[in-house]
Amino acid sequence: MRFYVTTPIYYVNSTPHIGHAYTTIAADILARHHKQRGEETFFLTGIDEHASGVYRVAQEQGIDPHQYIDEIAVAWKELPERLNARSDFFIRTSDEAHKRFVREFVQRIYDNGDVYEDVYAGFYCVSCEAFYSEDELLEGGLCPIHERPTEWIEEKNYFFRLSAYQDKLLQLYDERPDFVLPGFRYNEARSFIAGGLRDFSISRAGQPWGVPLPWDESQVAYVWVDALPNYLSALTYARPGEDLIPKFWPVVHHLMAKDILRFHCVYWPALLMSAGYDLPKQIFVHGYLLLEDKKISKSRGNVVDPLPLIETYGADPIRFWCARAISFGQDGSSSLDAVHERYERELGNDLGNLVSRTTAMIARYRDGRLTRAEGPPAADLGALRAELVERLDRLDITGAVDAVWQVVRRLNQYVEETAPWQLAKDEARAAELDLVLANLADGLVAVAVALAAYLPETAPQILEALGQSTDLSLDRIRSGAAEPAEGILPAEPLFPRIELPTAAA
């Protein structure tokens, strides 16, 4: 089994914000989880360097665009590292091998008869890199997404015959109801297609920045036709001397925020059909995770920058909050208070204290020795494993972590119900105490393995605290997985208290 997951390539003409972190974290959780299933995985992220805004900003600052993007690329490469997101490749569209691939890709479309020349006239939003018709604009000619002025542009362009793919796309959507998730995004994409498709421009004239078309070097590939093929091109050169396309295409899951749904759910499959490639396995469109405490964000200024949050809490708590704050796929808002509350109440109290208590009781009542004991388990761990797999098969990263948290809460309840401190007072109840401690250890091994994709730093710490191997295979989510161990000491707090700097009024 193989699993390939992508984030969009992010525009370098902005700086990383929490939205980028959100998609990157989700992709990393999925990649790590599938690795735990023993699958061969590939996780791709990167940056789009050919946005026309890049050239414009570089010119404004009077620097070479290559130098400009090299400087900006540093912050973008840092983002996945700081989030502890382990991508297998970081693509940059200025890579020579990518540019070569794009030229081959558009040539295939051209050879297939799907490209023609025409004059393009329309309202262009530089930030969207997209044209709008008059009826799509907001009052005053503003871009419907950015609410900023658009420009009227008229030029000779090459067009892709998207209109010729309407029936094929509808057929695709009808045959594959899980091609786009969640369902309401599938419906949105399908009704856009059913409403009639207009051909779109695949080139820009008079732009020195981009990939020149092979049949007309005076034009460069329009940014989406340059960007979307990154999902394929990266596979051709990510591992030198090896073409990964036969391995990982088309078992790909594209993740993205809703603002680029149309490009991925409509343009991309049509371009792939024209170029003669198989279609992606799945496209997952998520909503926006918004931070709503404006008062705090004003006083801290850069609050949507995820790096200060990681500095305060560490990567694991931010990954956890992103997965849990809103249901993945839906729109929703959270707050900095919620980040802090989840850190203290859920990670600190629910999970951290459970690890501290369990290890402390083993140390105190059993001299650090964990033994096996037969008896009814504290929680149905087999059911947890099944639910985790089933939910993550649907890319429901929120539902999956919720299921783990129910077990965490169940284990805490089990401690209260069984009161091991009472059992420890009575030598006649030694076997009962051994069973409670073994059940708690099994539960924590299961929870650590199930959370490893979400909390990659914390999970091995939990296993080590219990004297267990750090193997993360999902088979360990079962009763009886905790091995006998010795020398267990009371664990240090996994999530120590953090004093927040008080926000200025």
Question: CA 50 to CA 69: how far, in whole Å?
Answer: 10
Query: In terms of C-beta density within 10 A (0-12 exposed, 13-18 middle, 19 or more buried), how is residue 378 classed?
Result: buried
Q: Give yes or no: 264 in active site.
A: no
Per-residue DSSP letters for 474-503? GGGSSTT-SPPB----PPPPSS---PPPPP
Considering the complex, state which of residue 145 and residue 430 has its C-beta at the smaller distance from Zn ion: 145
Catalytic residue among 33, 34, 50, 125: 125
**Residues pairing with 132 in the sheet:** 123
Catalytic residue among 33, 34, 50, 128: 128
Considering the complex, state which of residue 141 and residue 250 has its C-beta at the smaller distance from Zn ion: 141
Q: Binding segment for Zn ion among 142-150, 194-202, 280-288, 335-343 (CB under 5 A)?
A: 142-150
Considering the complex, state which of residue 73 and residue 145 has its C-beta at the smaller distance from Zn ion: 145
Considering the complex, state which of residue 53 and residue 368 has its C-beta at the smaller distance from Zn ion: 53
Q: Binding segment for Zn ion among 143-151, 227-235, 280-288, 314-322 (CB under 5 A)?
A: 143-151
Dihedral (CA of 179, 185, 190, 193) sign:
negative
Residues 101-130 contacting Zn ion, CB under 5 A: 125, 127-128
- Taking the complex as a whole, the smallest distance from the CB of residue 140 to Zn ion amounts, in Å, to 14
Question: CA 87 to CA 81: how far, in whole Å?
Answer: 9
Considering the complex, state which of residue 143 and residue 351 has its C-beta at the smaller distance from Zn ion: 143
- Taking the complex as a whole, the smallest distance from the CB of residue 198 to Zn ion amounts, in Å, to 18
Pairing, β 89-92 against β 282-286 = unpaired
Chosen residue from 21, 143, 270, 351 binding Zn ion by CB under 5 A: 143
- Give me the torsion for CA of 250, 47, 400, 444, rounded to 10°: 110
Considering the complex, state which of residue 38 and residue 149 has its C-beta at the smaller distance from Zn ion: 149
Q: Which of 231, 335, 251, 263 is nearest to 18 (CA)?
A: 335
Task: Indicate whether 260 belongs to the interface with Zn ion (CB under 5 A).
Answer: no
Residues 144-163 contacting Zn ion, CB under 5 A: 145-146
Question: CA 333 to CA 299: how far, in whole Å?
Answer: 19
Q: Give yes or no: 143 in active site.
A: yes
- Taking the complex as a whole, the smallest distance from the CB of residue 127 to Zn ion amounts, in Å, to 4
Considering the complex, state which of residue 145 and residue 363 has its C-beta at the smaller distance from Zn ion: 145
Q: Give yes or no: 295 in active site.
A: yes
Q: Which of 99, 287, 262, 142 is nearest to 191 (CA)?
A: 262
- Taking the complex as a whole, the smallest distance from the CB of residue 232 to Zn ion amounts, in Å, to 26
Catalytic residue among 20, 34, 35, 286: 20
What DSSP element (H or E) covers 118?
strand 115-125
Q: Binding segment for Zn ion among 135-143, 203-211, 258-266, 374-382 (CB under 5 A)?
A: 135-143
Q: Pull the structure tokens for residue 406.
A: 């129910």
- Taking the complex as a whole, the smallest distance from the CB of residue 226 to Zn ion amounts, in Å, to 18
- Taking the complex as a whole, the smallest distance from the CB of residue 129 to Zn ion amounts, in Å, to 8
Q: Give yes or no: 20 in active site.
A: yes
Question: CA 45 to CA 22: how far, in whole Å?
Answer: 13
Q: Which of 205, 186, 362 is nearest to 285 (CA)?
A: 186
CB atoms within 10 A of CB 472: 20
- Taking the complex as a whole, the smallest distance from the CB of residue 122 to Zn ion amounts, in Å, to 13
Task: Assess contact for 132 and 144: CB atoms under 8 A.
Answer: yes
- Taking the complex as a whole, the smallest distance from the CB of residue 187 to Zn ion amounts, in Å, to 24
- Taking the complex as a whole, the smallest distance from the CB of residue 6 to Zn ion amounts, in Å, to 23
Tell the residue number behind the tokens 């073994």, with chain if given.
438
Considering the complex, state which of residue 137 and residue 245 has its C-beta at the smaller distance from Zn ion: 137
Query: Strand, coil or helix: what is 121?
Result: strand
Q: Give pairs for 216-224: CB < 8 Å, separation 24+.
A: 216/158, 219/157, 219/158, 220/50, 221/50, 221/102, 221/106, 222/129, 222/157, 223/48, 223/50, 223/51, 223/52, 223/129, 224/129, 224/130, 224/263, 224/267
Residues 286-325 contacting Zn ion, CB under 5 A: none
Considering the complex, state which of residue 124 and residue 173 has its C-beta at the smaller distance from Zn ion: 124
Q: Binding segment for Zn ion among 37-45, 139-147, 230-238, 270-278 (CB under 5 A)?
A: 139-147
Q: Give yes or no: 156 in active site.
A: no
Q: Give yes or no: 425 in active site.
A: no
Q: Give yes or no: 258 in active site.
A: no
Question: CA 266 to CA 287: how far, in whole Å?
Answer: 18
- Give me the torsion for CA of 81, 83, 86, 90, rounded to 10°: -60
Considering the complex, state which of residue 143 and residue 355 has its C-beta at the smaller distance from Zn ion: 143
Catalytic residue among 33, 143, 264, 265: 143
Q: Binding segment for Zn ion among 34-42, 81-89, 141-149, 467-475 (CB under 5 A)?
A: 141-149
What does DSSP assign to residue 244?
A: -
Helix, strand, coil: what percent of the chain each, to 5? 50, 15, 30
Q: How many CA atoms lie within 13 A of 151 on its CB side?
A: 10
Q: Give yes or no: 125 in active site.
A: yes
- Taking the complex as a whole, the smallest distance from the CB of residue 14 to Zn ion amounts, in Å, to 12
- Number of residues forming the site for Zn ion (CB under 5 A): 6
- Active-site residue set: 17, 20, 125, 128, 143, 146, 295, 298
Residues that bind Zn ion (CB under 5 A): 125, 127-128, 143, 145-146
